[in-house]
Structure 1
Amino acid sequence: MPMNAVHRRICRSDGWATRMHSQVLPWATREVPLAGKVLELGPGYGITTRWLAGHGGDLTAVEVDPALASDLRAQFPDVDVHEGDGAALPFADETFDAVVCFTMLHHVPSPEHQDRLFAEAARVLRPGGVFAGSDSVLSLRFRLIHIGDTMVPVNPGTMPDRLRRNGFHDATTQEGGRSFRFSATR
Protein backbone atom coordinates (compact mmCIF):
# COMPACT_ATOMS: atom_id res chain seq x y z
CA MET A 1 0.00 0.00 0.00
CA PRO A 2 1.27 3.53 -0.72
CA MET A 3 3.85 5.06 1.62
CA ASN A 4 5.30 8.58 1.48
CA ALA A 5 9.06 9.22 1.10
CA VAL A 6 9.64 9.88 4.82
CA HIS A 7 7.85 6.70 5.79
CA ARG A 8 9.79 4.65 3.23
CA ARG A 9 13.07 6.07 4.56
CA ILE A 10 12.14 5.17 8.15
CA CYS A 11 11.09 1.62 7.21
CA ARG A 12 14.47 0.99 5.54
CA SER A 13 16.61 2.61 8.24
CA ASP A 14 19.13 0.97 10.55
CA GLY A 15 17.38 2.62 13.49
CA TRP A 16 14.07 0.98 12.58
CA ALA A 17 15.79 -2.38 12.10
CA THR A 18 17.47 -2.09 15.51
CA ARG A 19 14.18 -1.21 17.24
CA MET A 20 12.30 -4.01 15.48
CA HIS A 21 14.99 -6.68 16.09
CA SER A 22 15.80 -5.76 19.69
CA GLN A 23 12.39 -4.71 21.03
CA VAL A 24 9.26 -5.18 18.93
CA LEU A 25 9.81 -8.60 17.35
CA PRO A 26 10.98 -10.42 20.51
CA TRP A 27 8.05 -8.87 22.41
CA ALA A 28 5.44 -9.59 19.71
CA THR A 29 6.55 -13.23 19.24
CA ARG A 30 7.37 -14.07 22.86
CA GLU A 31 4.97 -17.03 22.94
CA VAL A 32 4.71 -17.76 19.22
CA PRO A 33 6.15 -21.03 17.88
CA LEU A 34 8.43 -20.02 15.00
CA ALA A 35 10.12 -23.38 14.37
CA GLY A 36 7.48 -24.84 12.02
CA LYS A 37 5.93 -23.52 8.80
CA VAL A 38 5.64 -19.75 9.24
CA LEU A 39 3.84 -17.30 6.95
CA GLU A 40 4.74 -13.61 7.13
CA LEU A 41 2.19 -11.16 5.71
CA GLY A 42 3.39 -7.79 4.41
CA PRO A 43 7.13 -7.92 5.03
CA GLY A 44 7.78 -4.71 3.09
CA TYR A 45 11.52 -4.05 2.91
CA GLY A 46 12.42 -7.29 4.73
CA ILE A 47 13.60 -6.04 8.11
CA THR A 48 11.19 -8.39 9.88
CA THR A 49 11.89 -11.18 7.38
CA ARG A 50 15.61 -11.03 8.19
CA TRP A 51 14.84 -11.52 11.89
CA LEU A 52 12.32 -14.33 11.25
CA ALA A 53 14.70 -16.15 8.89
CA GLY A 54 17.14 -16.46 11.78
CA HIS A 55 14.63 -18.27 14.00
CA GLY A 56 14.66 -21.69 12.37
CA GLY A 57 11.25 -22.00 10.76
CA ASP A 58 10.33 -22.79 7.16
CA LEU A 59 9.47 -19.22 6.15
CA THR A 60 7.04 -18.08 3.45
CA ALA A 61 6.21 -14.41 2.81
CA VAL A 62 3.41 -12.65 0.95
CA GLU A 63 4.02 -9.04 -0.15
CA VAL A 64 1.44 -6.99 -2.07
CA ASP A 65 3.95 -4.60 -3.69
CA PRO A 66 5.49 -6.22 -6.81
CA ALA A 67 8.81 -4.35 -6.56
CA LEU A 68 9.20 -5.16 -2.87
CA ALA A 69 8.32 -8.82 -3.50
CA SER A 70 11.02 -8.97 -6.16
CA ASP A 71 13.56 -7.34 -3.83
CA LEU A 72 12.64 -9.83 -1.08
CA ARG A 73 13.27 -12.77 -3.42
CA ALA A 74 16.74 -11.38 -4.20
CA GLN A 75 17.54 -10.71 -0.53
CA PHE A 76 16.22 -13.99 0.85
CA PRO A 77 16.71 -16.91 -1.57
CA ASP A 78 15.75 -19.38 1.19
CA VAL A 79 12.36 -17.71 1.81
CA ASP A 80 9.40 -18.64 -0.41
CA VAL A 81 8.23 -15.13 -1.42
CA HIS A 82 4.87 -14.63 -3.13
CA GLU A 83 3.42 -11.44 -4.57
CA GLY A 84 -0.14 -11.16 -3.37
CA ASP A 85 -2.76 -9.81 -1.01
CA GLY A 86 -3.01 -11.17 2.53
CA ALA A 87 -6.79 -11.08 2.15
CA ALA A 88 -6.64 -13.60 -0.73
CA LEU A 89 -3.85 -16.03 0.08
CA PRO A 90 -2.72 -18.56 -2.55
CA PHE A 91 -2.34 -21.45 -0.08
CA ALA A 92 -4.40 -24.49 0.86
CA ASP A 93 -6.34 -24.64 4.10
CA GLU A 94 -4.34 -25.62 7.20
CA THR A 95 -0.89 -25.10 5.63
CA PHE A 96 0.96 -23.11 8.34
CA ASP A 97 1.79 -23.45 12.03
CA ALA A 98 2.04 -19.68 12.52
CA VAL A 99 1.03 -16.57 10.60
CA VAL A 100 2.67 -13.28 11.58
CA CYS A 101 2.54 -9.65 10.50
CA PHE A 102 4.33 -6.65 11.91
CA THR A 103 3.48 -2.94 11.60
CA MET A 104 1.54 -3.45 8.38
CA LEU A 105 -2.13 -3.83 9.33
CA HIS A 106 -2.66 -0.06 9.27
CA HIS A 107 -1.70 -0.12 5.55
CA VAL A 108 -4.56 -2.48 4.70
CA PRO A 109 -7.07 -0.13 3.00
CA SER A 110 -10.22 -0.71 5.08
CA PRO A 111 -11.46 -2.47 8.22
CA GLU A 112 -13.36 -4.90 5.96
CA HIS A 113 -10.17 -5.73 4.07
CA GLN A 114 -8.38 -6.20 7.41
CA ASP A 115 -11.12 -8.62 8.48
CA ARG A 116 -10.69 -10.60 5.25
CA LEU A 117 -6.96 -10.78 6.00
CA PHE A 118 -7.77 -12.11 9.50
CA ALA A 119 -10.14 -14.71 8.03
CA GLU A 120 -7.50 -15.80 5.51
CA ALA A 121 -4.91 -16.13 8.27
CA ALA A 122 -7.34 -18.40 10.14
CA ARG A 123 -8.04 -20.44 7.01
CA VAL A 124 -4.38 -21.20 6.24
CA LEU A 125 -3.48 -22.02 9.86
CA ARG A 126 -3.52 -25.57 11.15
CA PRO A 127 -5.77 -26.19 14.17
CA GLY A 128 -3.89 -24.87 17.20
CA GLY A 129 -1.83 -22.54 14.99
CA VAL A 130 -1.11 -19.00 16.11
CA PHE A 131 -1.73 -15.68 14.36
CA ALA A 132 0.39 -12.98 15.98
CA GLY A 133 2.12 -9.70 15.37
CA SER A 134 2.22 -6.04 16.16
CA ASP A 135 1.05 -2.71 14.89
CA SER A 136 1.36 0.93 15.92
CA VAL A 137 -0.84 2.77 18.39
CA LEU A 138 -2.50 5.89 16.98
CA SER A 139 -0.77 9.14 17.95
CA LEU A 140 0.02 12.54 16.45
CA ARG A 141 3.52 11.32 15.50
CA PHE A 142 2.01 8.25 13.80
CA ARG A 143 -0.42 10.45 11.83
CA LEU A 144 2.37 12.80 10.71
CA ILE A 145 4.59 9.96 9.47
CA HIS A 146 1.65 8.66 7.42
CA ILE A 147 0.63 11.86 5.60
CA GLY A 148 -0.33 10.76 2.09
CA ASP A 149 -0.12 7.05 3.00
CA THR A 150 -2.83 4.45 3.15
CA MET A 151 -3.49 4.52 6.90
CA VAL A 152 -6.36 2.65 8.58
CA PRO A 153 -5.39 2.34 12.26
CA VAL A 154 -6.37 -0.81 14.12
CA ASN A 155 -7.92 -0.28 17.54
CA PRO A 156 -6.17 -2.71 19.92
CA GLY A 157 -9.25 -2.69 22.17
CA THR A 158 -11.57 -4.06 19.48
CA MET A 159 -9.09 -6.36 17.76
CA PRO A 160 -9.72 -9.47 19.95
CA ASP A 161 -13.43 -9.41 19.04
CA ARG A 162 -12.60 -8.91 15.35
CA LEU A 163 -10.21 -11.88 15.47
CA ARG A 164 -12.84 -14.07 17.18
CA ARG A 165 -15.41 -13.13 14.51
CA ASN A 166 -12.92 -14.26 11.88
CA GLY A 167 -12.17 -17.76 13.15
CA PHE A 168 -9.87 -17.39 16.17
CA HIS A 169 -10.10 -17.97 19.89
CA ASP A 170 -7.84 -16.97 22.80
CA ALA A 171 -7.44 -13.57 21.10
CA THR A 172 -5.53 -10.96 23.10
CA THR A 173 -3.83 -7.62 22.62
CA GLN A 174 -1.35 -5.77 24.80
CA GLU A 175 -0.14 -2.21 24.42
CA GLY A 176 3.49 -1.29 24.97
CA GLY A 177 4.70 2.22 24.20
CA ARG A 178 4.05 3.15 20.57
CA SER A 179 2.96 -0.38 19.63
CA PHE A 180 0.56 -3.12 20.50
CA ARG A 181 0.95 -6.84 20.04
CA PHE A 182 -1.74 -9.39 19.34
CA SER A 183 -2.07 -13.14 19.43
CA ALA A 184 -4.89 -15.53 18.60
CA THR A 185 -5.23 -19.28 18.14
CA ARG A 186 -7.11 -21.17 15.45
Structure 2
Amino acid sequence: MTEVRRERADAARNRREILRVTEELLARYRPEEISMEQVAAAAGVGKGTVFHRFGSRMGLMQALIQDRALALHDAVVSGPPPLGPDADPRSRLLAFLDGIVDVVARNKGLLAALGHAVTTTQHPRADDDHPVYRFWHGHLSMLLAELRPSLDAELVAHVLLSTLGNEPILRLLEKGEGERLAVTLRLMATTLLDA
Protein backbone atom coordinates (compact mmCIF):
# COMPACT_ATOMS: atom_id res chain seq x y z
CA MET A 1 0.00 0.00 0.00
CA THR A 2 2.82 2.43 0.85
CA GLU A 3 4.51 1.63 -2.46
CA VAL A 4 1.35 2.57 -4.40
CA ARG A 5 1.19 5.93 -2.59
CA ARG A 6 4.86 6.55 -3.39
CA GLU A 7 4.25 5.77 -7.05
CA ARG A 8 1.33 8.16 -7.08
CA ALA A 9 3.47 10.87 -5.47
CA ASP A 10 6.21 10.18 -8.01
CA ALA A 11 3.70 10.30 -10.85
CA ALA A 12 2.35 13.62 -9.57
CA ARG A 13 5.89 14.99 -9.26
CA ASN A 14 6.71 13.81 -12.77
CA ARG A 15 3.55 15.42 -14.15
CA ARG A 16 4.35 18.75 -12.46
CA GLU A 17 7.94 18.62 -13.71
CA ILE A 18 6.92 17.72 -17.26
CA LEU A 19 4.48 20.63 -17.36
CA ARG A 20 7.03 23.01 -15.81
CA VAL A 21 9.76 22.19 -18.32
CA THR A 22 7.28 22.32 -21.19
CA GLU A 23 6.36 25.85 -20.17
CA GLU A 24 10.07 26.75 -20.01
CA LEU A 25 10.65 25.29 -23.48
CA LEU A 26 7.66 27.25 -24.79
CA ALA A 27 9.34 30.45 -23.65
CA ARG A 28 12.13 29.73 -26.16
CA TYR A 29 10.50 27.66 -28.91
CA ARG A 30 7.22 27.48 -30.79
CA PRO A 31 5.08 24.46 -29.79
CA GLU A 32 5.73 22.65 -33.07
CA GLU A 33 9.51 22.91 -32.45
CA ILE A 34 9.31 21.01 -29.17
CA SER A 35 9.63 17.22 -29.25
CA MET A 36 8.47 14.76 -26.64
CA GLU A 37 12.12 13.65 -26.39
CA GLN A 38 13.20 17.20 -25.46
CA VAL A 39 10.51 17.39 -22.80
CA ALA A 40 11.43 14.00 -21.36
CA ALA A 41 15.14 14.84 -21.21
CA ALA A 42 14.51 18.23 -19.60
CA ALA A 43 12.13 16.70 -17.05
CA GLY A 44 14.49 13.84 -16.23
CA VAL A 45 11.97 11.14 -17.19
CA GLY A 46 11.74 8.58 -19.94
CA LYS A 47 10.09 9.42 -23.23
CA GLY A 48 7.59 6.62 -22.56
CA THR A 49 6.50 8.37 -19.35
CA VAL A 50 5.62 11.52 -21.29
CA PHE A 51 3.75 9.58 -23.98
CA HIS A 52 1.96 7.43 -21.43
CA ARG A 53 0.83 10.46 -19.42
CA PHE A 54 -0.12 12.81 -22.26
CA GLY A 55 -0.48 10.65 -25.39
CA SER A 56 0.93 13.16 -27.86
CA ARG A 57 2.54 16.56 -28.09
CA MET A 58 -0.91 18.12 -28.59
CA GLY A 59 -2.15 16.25 -25.52
CA LEU A 60 0.78 17.65 -23.54
CA MET A 61 0.10 21.19 -24.75
CA GLN A 62 -3.61 20.89 -23.90
CA ALA A 63 -2.76 19.57 -20.44
CA LEU A 64 -0.41 22.50 -19.86
CA ILE A 65 -2.98 25.17 -20.71
CA GLN A 66 -5.64 23.38 -18.67
CA ASP A 67 -3.26 23.14 -15.72
CA ARG A 68 -2.47 26.87 -15.88
CA ALA A 69 -6.14 27.74 -16.29
CA LEU A 70 -7.01 25.41 -13.39
CA ALA A 71 -4.78 27.41 -11.08
CA LEU A 72 -6.81 30.51 -11.96
CA HIS A 73 -10.03 28.54 -11.51
CA ASP A 74 -8.97 27.41 -8.02
CA ALA A 75 -8.08 30.97 -7.04
CA VAL A 76 -11.54 32.14 -8.14
CA VAL A 77 -13.44 29.34 -6.42
CA SER A 78 -11.59 29.16 -3.12
CA GLY A 79 -8.72 31.62 -3.04
CA PRO A 80 -8.26 34.83 -1.11
CA PRO A 81 -9.29 38.28 -2.37
CA PRO A 82 -9.15 39.85 -4.83
CA LEU A 83 -9.91 36.74 -6.94
CA GLY A 84 -11.65 34.66 -4.30
CA PRO A 85 -15.29 34.70 -3.26
CA ASP A 86 -14.75 37.04 -0.28
CA ALA A 87 -13.84 40.01 -2.50
CA ASP A 88 -16.31 42.57 -3.81
CA PRO A 89 -17.51 41.88 -7.40
CA ARG A 90 -15.69 44.83 -8.99
CA SER A 91 -12.34 43.84 -7.48
CA ARG A 92 -12.95 40.22 -8.50
CA LEU A 93 -13.77 41.22 -12.07
CA LEU A 94 -10.65 43.33 -12.50
CA ALA A 95 -8.42 40.74 -10.84
CA PHE A 96 -9.95 38.00 -12.99
CA LEU A 97 -9.24 39.96 -16.17
CA ASP A 98 -5.63 40.34 -14.98
CA GLY A 99 -5.48 36.61 -14.27
CA ILE A 100 -6.77 35.71 -17.72
CA VAL A 101 -4.24 38.02 -19.38
CA ASP A 102 -1.48 36.41 -17.31
CA VAL A 103 -2.49 32.89 -18.43
CA VAL A 104 -2.72 33.99 -22.06
CA ALA A 105 0.53 36.00 -21.94
CA ARG A 106 2.50 33.10 -20.46
CA ASN A 107 1.05 30.66 -23.00
CA LYS A 108 0.53 32.78 -26.13
CA GLY A 109 2.38 30.47 -28.52
CA LEU A 110 0.64 27.50 -27.03
CA LEU A 111 -2.79 29.10 -27.41
CA ALA A 112 -2.05 30.00 -31.02
CA ALA A 113 -0.97 26.44 -31.78
CA LEU A 114 -3.99 24.95 -30.03
CA GLY A 115 -6.29 27.32 -31.89
CA HIS A 116 -4.71 26.31 -35.20
CA ALA A 117 -4.94 22.62 -34.32
CA VAL A 118 -8.59 22.89 -33.34
CA THR A 119 -9.58 24.74 -36.51
CA THR A 120 -7.72 22.30 -38.78
CA THR A 121 -9.13 19.08 -37.34
CA GLN A 122 -11.98 17.24 -39.02
CA HIS A 123 -14.36 18.20 -36.24
CA PRO A 124 -13.47 21.73 -35.18
CA ARG A 125 -14.86 22.83 -31.87
CA ALA A 126 -16.03 26.34 -31.18
CA ASP A 127 -13.98 28.24 -28.62
CA ASP A 128 -17.03 28.65 -26.43
CA ASP A 129 -17.35 24.86 -26.18
CA HIS A 130 -13.97 24.51 -24.45
CA PRO A 131 -14.27 24.02 -20.66
CA VAL A 132 -11.71 26.74 -19.91
CA TYR A 133 -13.53 29.24 -22.11
CA ARG A 134 -16.90 28.24 -20.64
CA PHE A 135 -15.62 28.87 -17.10
CA TRP A 136 -13.97 32.18 -18.01
CA HIS A 137 -17.06 33.36 -19.86
CA GLY A 138 -19.44 32.20 -17.13
CA HIS A 139 -17.49 33.89 -14.37
CA LEU A 140 -17.14 37.16 -16.28
CA SER A 141 -20.84 37.12 -17.20
CA MET A 142 -21.86 36.54 -13.60
CA LEU A 143 -19.73 39.39 -12.26
CA LEU A 144 -20.79 41.80 -15.01
CA ALA A 145 -24.48 41.00 -14.44
CA GLU A 146 -24.07 41.49 -10.70
CA LEU A 147 -22.34 44.82 -11.14
CA ARG A 148 -24.59 46.20 -13.87
CA PRO A 149 -27.79 44.23 -14.42
CA SER A 150 -28.83 46.32 -17.46
CA LEU A 151 -25.71 45.21 -19.36
CA ASP A 152 -25.86 42.31 -21.84
CA ALA A 153 -23.36 40.50 -19.64
CA GLU A 154 -23.08 37.37 -21.80
CA LEU A 155 -22.24 39.35 -24.92
CA VAL A 156 -19.84 41.70 -23.13
CA ALA A 157 -18.00 38.70 -21.66
CA HIS A 158 -17.63 37.21 -25.16
CA VAL A 159 -16.36 40.54 -26.50
CA LEU A 160 -13.79 40.90 -23.71
CA LEU A 161 -12.55 37.34 -24.18
CA SER A 162 -12.46 37.59 -27.97
CA THR A 163 -9.75 40.22 -27.73
CA LEU A 164 -7.34 37.63 -26.33
CA GLY A 165 -7.20 35.27 -29.28
CA ASN A 166 -6.58 37.45 -32.29
CA GLU A 167 -3.26 37.83 -34.09
CA PRO A 168 -2.53 41.50 -33.27
CA ILE A 169 -3.02 40.81 -29.55
CA LEU A 170 -0.89 37.65 -29.66
CA ARG A 171 1.87 39.65 -31.40
CA LEU A 172 1.57 42.32 -28.70
CA LEU A 173 1.98 39.63 -26.04
CA GLU A 174 5.00 38.19 -27.87
CA LYS A 175 6.59 41.62 -27.40
CA GLY A 176 6.00 41.34 -23.64
CA GLU A 177 3.17 43.85 -23.47
CA GLY A 178 0.83 41.83 -21.25
CA GLU A 179 0.52 44.66 -18.73
CA ARG A 180 -0.56 47.04 -21.48
CA LEU A 181 -3.30 44.60 -22.46
CA ALA A 182 -4.38 44.09 -18.84
CA VAL A 183 -4.65 47.85 -18.28
CA THR A 184 -6.70 48.25 -21.45
CA LEU A 185 -9.10 45.42 -20.55
CA ARG A 186 -9.57 46.88 -17.06
CA LEU A 187 -10.27 50.30 -18.62
CA MET A 188 -12.82 48.80 -21.02
CA ALA A 189 -14.56 46.94 -18.21
CA THR A 190 -14.69 49.91 -15.84
CA THR A 191 -15.90 52.20 -18.62
CA LEU A 192 -18.77 49.82 -19.33
CA LEU A 193 -19.61 49.48 -15.66
CA ASP A 194 -19.52 53.22 -14.99
CA ALA A 195 -21.38 54.33 -18.14
Q: Is the shorter-chain TM-score for this pair beyond 0.5, marking a shared fold?
A: no
TM-score, length of structure 2 as denominator length: 0.26
The structure with the greater share of residues assigned to strand is 1
More relative contact order, 1 or 2 (CA 8 Å, 6+ apart): 1
